[in-house]
Structure 1
Amino acid sequence: MSRNFDVYLPLERAYSREAMLAVELLDAVTLERITQGVEVTATGLTGKPIVNYGGLFVWLKEDTTNFQTLLVEPGPRPFERVEIPAAQVNRPLHTVELKPLANYPFSPGITAIRGSLIESVPAQGVAPVPIAKATIRLEWLDEDGATWKPSPATFVTDKDGDFTFILRLAPVQVPTLDTLGNMSIRLFAKRAAGAEKHQQFQLLQGRVTDATYAWDQLQ
């Protein structure tokens, strides 16, 4: 009795086909490739992607003239939805780091902030007013005690003002730590209208911190 087997294309061939698009999905926390549980769509292309042996989503023998948007729907997985205009997609290979939601199962040793940005601290019994679509970025204090280093990542608050920020340092990057293992951090929030404010605080390295930031208390 014959049996059907999955057929995968070699990784090196994923880049070499003419008029083709390849997409690499990475977990922004672990940097591992994601191949299952998500839906990847390229609007304007007639075919659907296949996952090759190397873990890339590839469209083969496609005319990309009508390519409009790259969409990544995470489904039940704890990542943000991604929508990228075709003009911003690198070809033939584009890498997307999927950003975690607040319910992401962080492993020990990860430095991250599960935060909320609101207008002001509300009175008891009053719901806070969230600030949506604000861009969040961080700076950390270098071991020299004087130089503030920017984290390359940025995150955007959702409709509820929530965001999850991962602070990932290279082995050669060494922050200033106090006796409790806290890093000195500057968090910057920039509203969609353009105004930016910040707050400086201590953040425990290697832990996930839950915090709420009120716009009227930022500097």
Structure 2
Amino acid sequence: MTQPLAIFPPELQRRRILFAAALIDPITGATVSEGLRVSVDELTRAPIVNRRGYFVWQAEEPLRPTKLTIAPGLTPYEPDIHDIPMLPAPPPDDPSLPVVFDKDRLQRIFLRPAAAYSFPDNALVLRGTLCEGAAPVTGARVAIEWKSESPKLIVMPRKLIALPPWMTSPAEGLTGSAGGFVAALVLPKGAHPLTTGGKNITVRLRIDRGREGVRVGGEIDLPAASEDPVAGYGNNWSFKNPIAWSDLTPV
């Protein structure tokens, strides 16, 4: 799904770059450009896909984009909208100057795997349903957090306490019309998750509802036991019952 090598004529390379976006698969870490339709507001021209697979927009003075929209087409990702931060002024319009890519213009965006995404065997997957009362919660971002064994020091009266930090997976899920979601986690190279007796990893859910706030669920030690809230095997687990927003802890 990565963009093949593309060769552009020299005059195209000299044009002023205003903004670029790298869309990243959160499971594989690969840059994705094929099959997606990516657009921004305010600008009139379509983006160019460069050799690295970045979507690149040229300057259209004095216009500045504020929103980036991802339409996944037939790719296994969710549609998405992202804010674009304030951009610096574009470089001078001087073809004699070398082209230097300004990293301040690049926004790296993690794509969100859809239900059709084919998760590899090394991906931990959690599925469930989120509700508020009897109504499903739609459009919430759901991520898996894993507890690292690396200590995090916090200051308490007259002492320091080491708490294991929670690390958030970039492979978010999005709750659909019925509140259902799928979230995934691939541990980064060199990761050291906290383990308890007979367990491989401790995780919890982090749910972001935008203006409604962010909340987290209780700790889950995997592999799960029969009395735990999830059921499954290997790296695939599902919550036995709907998750109530009111039962989650605000952060």
Q: Normalization by structure 1: what TM-score?
A: 0.73
Q: 2:176 aligns with which of 122, 138, 158?
A: 158
2:7 aligned with 1:8, yes or no? yes
Name the aligned partner's letter for residue 208 of structure 1. Answer: N
Name the aligned partner's letter for residue 193 of structure 1. Answer: E
Tell me how far 1:93 sits from its aligned partner: 1.2
Tell me how far 1:175 sits from its aligned partner: 1.6
Alignment of 1:135-146 (within 5 A): 135-143=141-149
Alignment of 1:122-137 (within 5 A): 129-137=135-143
Name the aligned partner's letter for residue 8 of structure 1. Answer: I
| 1:45–1:64 CA contact under 8 A, matched in 2 | no
Q: 2:187 aligns with which of 146, 156, 169?
A: 169
Q: Which residue of 2 aligns with 1:84?
A: 82
Alignment of 1:100-111 (within 5 A): 100-111=113-124
Q: Relative to structure 1, is the Cα distance of residues 39 and 148 closer, same or farther in structure 2, using a 3 angstrom cutoff?
A: same
Q: Which residue of 1 aligns with 2:243?
A: 214
Query: What SS does structure 1 have at the residue aligned with 2:85?
Result: helix
Distance 2:147 2:83 in 1: 35
Query: What SS does structure 1 have at the residue aligned with 2:63?
Result: helix
Q: 2:37 aligns with which of 36, 39, 44?
A: 39
2:200 aligned with 1:200, yes or no? no
Q: Which residue of 1 aligns with 2:18?
A: 20
Name the aligned partner's letter for residue 105 of structure 2. Answer: P
Q: How many residues align?
A: 204
| 1:20–1:63 CA contact under 8 A, matched in 2 | no
The farther-off stretch of 208-217 and 53-62 is 208-217
The farther-off stretch of 95-104 and 80-89 is 80-89
CA RMSD of aligned residues (A): 3.4
Cα offsets for 1:33-73 (capped at 9, x unmatched): 11111101112111111212221111234336242321110
The farther-off stretch of 42-51 and 128-137 is 128-137
Distance 1:167 1:160 in 2: 23
Equivalent pairs: percent with the same residue? Answer: 26
2:49 aligned with 1:51, yes or no? yes
Gaps of 5+ in 1: 1-5, 121-127
| 1:116–1:162 CA contact under 8 A, matched in 2 | yes
Q: Relative to structure 1, is the Cα distance of residues 141 and 23 closer, same or farther in structure 2, using a 3 angstrom cutoff?
A: closer
Name the aligned partner's letter for residue 168 of structure 2. Answer: P
Tell me how far 1:109 sits from its aligned partner: 0.8
Tell me how far 1:92 sits from its aligned partner: 1.7
Query: What SS does structure 1 have at the residue aligned with 2:142?
Result: strand
Name the aligned partner's letter for residue 214 of structure 1. Answer: I
Gaps of 5+ in 2: 88-102, 152-161, 224-232
Tell me how far 1:148 sits from its aligned partner: 3.3
